[in-house]
Amino acid sequence: MNQFVQKKVFTLLLAVCLIVSNLTMAFAGPESTPVVQAPSLTAIDSEIATTAQYLKTSANINAATDFYNSSKLLILLLRSGINCSDLIDSYLSQVSAAYISNGELNLADPLTDYAYLSIILTLSGRNATNFNGINLIEKYETAIANADQVTLNNINPYKLPHMYTSIYAYAKEFKDSATCLTKIKIAVLSYENENGIDYWGNSTDNNGFALAGLSILSSSDSGVKKLAENALIFSQTLLQSNGTSNGDFKWSAFSNSDSTAASLTLYATYGKQDLAANSYAGLLTFKNSLQTGAYSYTNAADVASSYSTIDALYSLLTYKSILANQSSPFDVSDKLASISPPVINPEPETTAIAPPSTVDTTSTIATSSSTATPVDLTKTSPATGDSNIPTLFFLISLLSACGIITLIYIPHYRKQTK
């Protein structure tokens, strides 16, 4: 074999090795958690049923002393499908006795509590516009409309998604739902930083539960979309290989059920189904070893924790709603639609009705346009931000290989043409 042929073979081998090497690096991507197959809806329903039954048995529903937690738990139980009519009757009696006087309803925190009461009334088949002769929705809109933005920005961010979805569901009952929705959107964005939701710091818990149910907003508002992307990136840095999640890097830098439930909620809501399936498997590792349906905080052998169990039920219901293409737990749009089906326009030519406008005309917060074209977050890799990077690696490697071959052949070609 002459020297040129040897050089030629060596060059081709080098080029092939370069292409294979770069392809391997490009498509392997960063080290990630194993892909777990998504559970069946039947399996999730089974987990929901046993968890809800445990909470119903051990529940402490007292609207007079703890309106928020009692309301939240009752909403989750109603969404589970379990029969809790006795708890509903007790809850509504407590509300009437504690907060209605001389025909007036005065809740402790009207900015948030009207949302929870209206959701419970709707889920239980009652009319939120006529609760003991009181139009709850009208009072809710008045409270939001009259509140200044600074006050709304200081509401617990875990409550803001529930407020947004309740207003969105009752948009037809509001005189100006767009203004109210915009004010809640601004409040959500007031907690934004580069890692998602900053509420006494960043954590998977904040990102999961403070952005739950807001996928409809993230698809129409570029500011919220960016917030969700940042939350996804940060939360994945705390995701463990077994599907569990740490809470943060300082105060809860260990796997726990609350943070895992929040991560499952976040991944399911924003279309990261591989990560959601992995988090679902991780969440089940916290099922209490002694109490059926209960969850523990750090491992199955811990004592049963009602707080962790409520968070687990929240995430299970959210996960199921996404897989089954249903409304999120605190969004009663589906229930209202079944009660009052939308009127179909008989005109032959119609245009699609857009969601209530979220254009910000009052905020001084610098955010992107709220009428951005909807974007599917599942199409962008949170680790790289660009799903085309593997293709670029391939093209670069191919060009490099061609360059090497060219450099070897040019001297030989010059000799042949002399």
- Greater model confidence, 407 or 289: 289
Q: Which domain holds residue 20?
A: 3-26+390-417
Q: What are the two backbone dihedrals, phi and then psi, of residue 191, each rounded to the nearest 5 degrees?
A: -95, 5
Question: What pLDDT was estimated at residue 413?
Answer: 42
Please check whether residue 16 lies inside any domain of the structure.
Answer: yes
What average pLDDT does the segment 308-333 reach?
Answer: 97
In three-state secondary structure terms, 332 is: coil
**Residue 235 falls inside a structural domain:** no
State residue 125 phi and psi, 5-degree precision: 80, 15
Report residue 278 as tokens. 């992995």
Q: Which tens digit of pLDDT belongs to each residue from 182-222?
A: 999 999 999 999 999 999 999 999 999 999 999 989 989 99
Q: Identity (one letter) of the amino acid at 375? A: V
pLDDT at res. 338: 78
Q: How many residues does the chain have?
A: 418
Domain presence at residue 244: no
Residue 409 forms part of a structural domain: yes
Q: What is the pLDDT of residue 59?
A: 85
Q: Choose among 149, 123, 90, 341: nearest CA to 115.
A: 123
Q: Which amino acid is at 191?
A: Y
CA angle 314, 47, 286 (to 5 degrees): 75
The count of structural domains within the chain is 1
CA atoms within 13 A on the CB side of 314: 31
Q: Which two tokens stand for residue 163?
A: 């407020």
Share of the chain above pLDDT 90, in %: 70
- CA 295 to chain centroid, in Å, comes to 21
Q: Where are the beta strands (DSSP E) in 15-94?
A: none
Q: How confident is the model at residue 141 (pLDDT cuts 50, 70, 90)?
A: very high
pLDDT at 34: 61
Asked if the model's pLDDT at residue 96 lies above 80, the reply is yes
Burial class (CB in 10 A: 0-12, 13-18, 19+), 372: middle
Residue 20 structure tokens = 């294979």
CA distance 85 to 283: 29
| Residue 395 resides in a domain | yes
User: pLDDT grade, residue 2 (50/70/90)?
Assistant: low
What mean pLDDT comes out for the span 235-259? 97
The stretch 303-319 carries a mean pLDDT of: 97
- CA–CA separation, 318 vs 383, rounded Å? 24
pLDDT greater at residue 393 or residue 149: 149
Q: Which residue has the higher pLDDT, 93 or 34?
A: 93
The whole-number pLDDT of residue 17 equals 40
**The residue to which tokens 């687990």 are assigned:** 312
* β-bridge partners, 134: 131
Rama region for 213: left / alpha / beta (φ>0; ψ in -120 to 50; rest) = left
pLDDT tens sequence across 352-361: 333 433 333 3
Strands 196-197 and 245-246: unpaired
Question: Taking the model in full, what pTM does it have?
Answer: 0.76
- pLDDT, tens digit, for every residue of 339-356? 654 443 433 333 333 343
In a domain, 47, yes or no: no
pLDDT at position 36 is: 81
pLDDT at 10: 46
Q: What is the pLDDT of residues 22-54, one digit of tens each?
A: 434 334 433 455 668 999 999 999 999 999 999
Neighbouring-strand partners of residue 255: 246
Residue 108, amino acid: A
- Does residue 411 belong to any structural domain of this protein? yes
Pick the more confident residue, 16 or 53. Answer: 53
Written as one letter, the residue type at 394 is F
- Furthest C-alpha separation in the chain: 108
Q: For position 29, what pLDDT does the model report?
A: 37
Centroid of chain to Cα 336: 22
Domain assignment of residue 313, yes or no: no
Count how many Cα atoms sit within 13 Å of the Cα of residue 53 in the half-sphere of its side chain: 9
* Statement: residue 99 has pLDDT above 50: yes
pLDDT at 387 over 80: no
Mean pLDDT of 138-152: 97
CA distances from 401 to 12, 13, 27 (A): 8, 10, 18
Give the mean pLDDT of 265-271: 97
Tokens representing 401 are 């290989």
Q: Collect all residues with Cβ–Cβ distance below 8 Å to 385 and sequence separation of at least 6.
A: 229
Residue predicted with more confidence, 357 or 61? 61
Least confident of 84-88, 301-305, 389-393: 389-393
